[in-house]
Amino acid sequence: MPPLIRKVTFYTTITIGLLSSISIALYLYGSQSTLPPKFTVAGWRVGGMPYDTFEQQYEERLERLSAFPIQLQTSYPDIANRQLTLGQLGVEYHDDALTQSMAQLFKASPFQRIKARWELRQADIPLEVTVNDEQLSAAVKEAWKDLYNQQPAPAKRIVTSQDTLNYEPEHKVLRIDTIHLGEHLQEVAPSISYIYNAAPVRLTLPLYEQGPTVTVATLKQQGIDRKISEFTTTFPASGEGRIHNIRSTAASIQDLLMAPGETFDYSKIIAQTETQFGYKEAPVILNGKLVPGIGGGICQVSTTLYNAVLRSGLAIVERRNHSLPVSYVTLGQDATFANGYINFKFRNNTDAYLLIRTVTTDRDVTVKLFGHMSPSISYDIESNIIETIQPPIKYLHNTTLAPGATRPISKGKAGYKVETYRIKRENGVFVSKELVSKDQYSPVPTLVASNRGDIKPELGDTPESPQPILEDGVKGPSFR
């Protein structure tokens, strides 16, 4: 064999041998079952540790981390210090980066394992720490039950017996700031030692004051600064049922608060009262006649409220007078109610809230309105009878009377046409006069029994309308 060929063959053999040795060495390097020599996990030195051993010890250390104690303390003597574990506080460790590194080191292709072992030979793989907010909040509330049993109390507006306004301040309570507590836990958890029986980590419990929605400030922002009007009506001779109905309806509007622009709807008050208190038997008006019924007296409350509203300058949206005159208020200044037909509505046309207060006794009902109105402004109400309607005579046939005889049964009552005005004054000086309403009250006929041939007998009433209208009550008639 020529010398040159022998030389080439020699070097080729040497090269192949070297490459084989390197390949074998690289394969053995990448096939190791131990972790790279300076490999650490969140500061835990595990270099050279067999993979199986690492997996076992890693799970044990995660359990010890979850059970690591945290001493939560405050400077408030009435809030006890508590010791909870990281796991109880919702701290969770996520090993996505570690899982990916282990897969590259022990489960990838030979080439990838060689590359990963070299690149990770001095790596410190972090563990991502998160806090489960729901678990943290639940743990805190359970650990400090007494604290969370205390609830904030809203501020109160107090109307004094002299009708002035005072305020009872709101009451705040302490709460644990779980958001900042979670952030502190996320800061300290990654650096917590794995050592057994390590001293608890001490954290100051972050606290804040929780107040109610209703505060003195929010109440004052409503703009209610004084009593702007008041009106009282006295009960006529009334039974227990009527007094109950008046008291109950007045109770339903007690402390009612109306926002600027809001409209008051009396039908809703009637429905609420009927549900909450129920109405009792008392006379009602049916097609212009007093008859037994349920709910009699409810219009005394609407009438009293109407008069307070008139005298505060508020806007009347809907109102109707009774079909018959009532005894407890001036003609033209009453407000009746008939479910589905007649309602009473007014609007708070001021820039402030309106507060309704009621006072009832066994003989009268008072409505007071509190809001904002210039003390220089006042309103007078003037009602004028512009026509008196004489009562007609109604004859009822009675065969028990002697032929040609008549006998009075009841004396009629006159009807009226009335105009009502609202007069505005500023510092006592006339400003304007507003026509509020034109009302008509039906006369009550004089009833006469007769047995005369020259007078056409009236044996009964003819229905005046296909749909009877019931006023001043919710049901009727009620005969026993």
The DSSP code sequence of 99-152 is HHHHHHHHTS-HHHHHHHHHHTTT-EE--EEEE-HHHHHHHHHHHTHHHHH---
**Cis-peptide, bond into residue 36, ω within 30° of zero:** no
pLDDT of residue 26: 62
Mean pLDDT in residue range 300-314: 97
- Strand 470-471 vs strand 207-210: parallel, antiparallel, or unpaired? unpaired
pLDDT of residue 22: 66
Percent of the chain with pLDDT over 90: 59
Strands (E), 344-428: 345-347, 354-360, 364-371, 377-389, 393-397, 406-410, 415-426
pLDDT top residue among 8 and 475: 475
User: What distances in angstroms separate CA 362 from CA 258, 333, 359, one per listed residue?
Assistant: 28, 23, 11
Contacts of 383 (CB under 8 A, 6+ apart): 330, 331, 332, 333, 418, 419, 420, 421
For the stretch 165-172, contacts whose Cβ atoms lie closer than 8 Å and that sit 24 or more positions apart, written own/partner, are 165/224, 165/225, 165/226, 165/370, 167/216, 167/219, 167/220, 169/216, 170/211, 170/212, 170/214, 170/215, 170/216, 171/212, 172/209, 172/210, 172/211, 172/212
User: What distances in angstroms separate CA 290 from CA 31, 280, 446, one per listed residue?
Assistant: 107, 16, 15
**What are 420-452's pLDDT values in tens digits?**
999 999 999 999 999 999 999 999 899 988 888
Q: How far apart are CA 245 and CA 9, in angstroms?
A: 123
Nearest Cα to Cα of residue 242 among 367, 368, 366, 360: 360
Mean pLDDT in residue range 57-68: 89
pLDDT top residue among 157 and 286: 157
Rounded mean pLDDT of the chain?
A: 89
Mean pLDDT in residue range 373-380: 96
Percent of the chain with pLDDT over 70: 91
**What are 87-129's pLDDT values in tens digits?**
999 999 888 988 998 898 888 888 888 888 888 889 898 888 9
Mean pLDDT in residue range 284-307: 91
What single-letter amino acid sits at 279? Y
Mean pLDDT in residue range 220-224: 97
The yes-or-no verdict on residue 462 having pLDDT over 50 is no
Size of the chain in residues: 480
Helix, strand or coil for residue 287? coil
pLDDT of residue 9: 67
Mean pLDDT in residue range 149-169: 96
Burial 172-195 (b: 16+ CB within 10 A, else e): eebbbebeebbebbeebbeebebe
User: What distances in angstroms separate CA 457 from CA 332, 402, 422, 453, 465, one per listed residue?
Assistant: 35, 15, 46, 8, 21
Phi, psi for residue 406 in degrees, rounded to 5: -135, 155
